[in-house]
Chains A and B, each alone.
Chain A
């Protein structure tokens, strides 16, 4: 049981390049999230999904796109990378049986992205 797996672990991009970060979970969770964490800072929510085929914006969605074509996968795309997107990206998932119950988040180990 792998939990939440993020691919790749590290990546260096040049300004203007594009890439996709992959998050996969094997816990049959409905909810999935993408966060970014800048050095010495807390986590900020980029986008999230409450089920297959759905996505919604979080706190800092600009410059990112997401897709949830399969329940177990949540993709984060950067169409034109900028140095301000240098950060550590964390994916998380949770099982929520109802809107009034905060089920714990399960996090991956992060993707460290540097944009030069």
Chain B
């Protein structure tokens, strides 16, 4: 199964840029890389998705090197409301050959005033 590895936790201050790196050495050729955000007592929420190079939206940027074995989620100028758990996700074909998505343990980001 495709596995991801992320730091367990990170601390930052308001206004700083935060970069969270995810390792996915066994990523398959057709897999996209997707990041989710989860607040307490809520389901995860989609943040950004990419295949290679750089993707940017109104919330974050995603940097993917040429070998695609890692990716970095960049959150510009974080605020207290960005305190959450962030998950990196890659596709997984599973035993049936069909797509099944597995989450890692995520990165707990704590933003301080």
Contact = CB atoms under 8 A, between A and B. Distances in A.
A104 B49 contact: yes
Contacts, number: 74
Interface residues of B, number: 30
A102 B34 contact: yes
B44 A43 contact: yes
A102 B103 contact: no
Contacts of A101: 32
B35 to A, nearest CB: 10
Contact of B43 (A57, A96, A107): A107
Nearest to A107: B43
A105 B100 contact: no
Given A41-B105, A42-B104, A42-B106, A102 B43 contact: no
A22 interface: no
B99 A105 contact: no
B44 A107 contact: yes
Nearest to A4: B43
Interface string B39-51: 0011111100100
Contacts of B41: 109-110
Interface residues of A, number: 29
A108 B96 CA distance: 25
B100 A102 contact: no
A50 interface: yes
Q: Which one of A41, A42, A100 has the greatest number of beta carbons of chain B within 10 Å?
A: A42
Interface string A35-61: 100000111110010100000111100
A74 interface: no
5 closest pairs, A vs B, by CB?
A107-B43, A100-B30, A104-B46, A102-B32, A42-B105
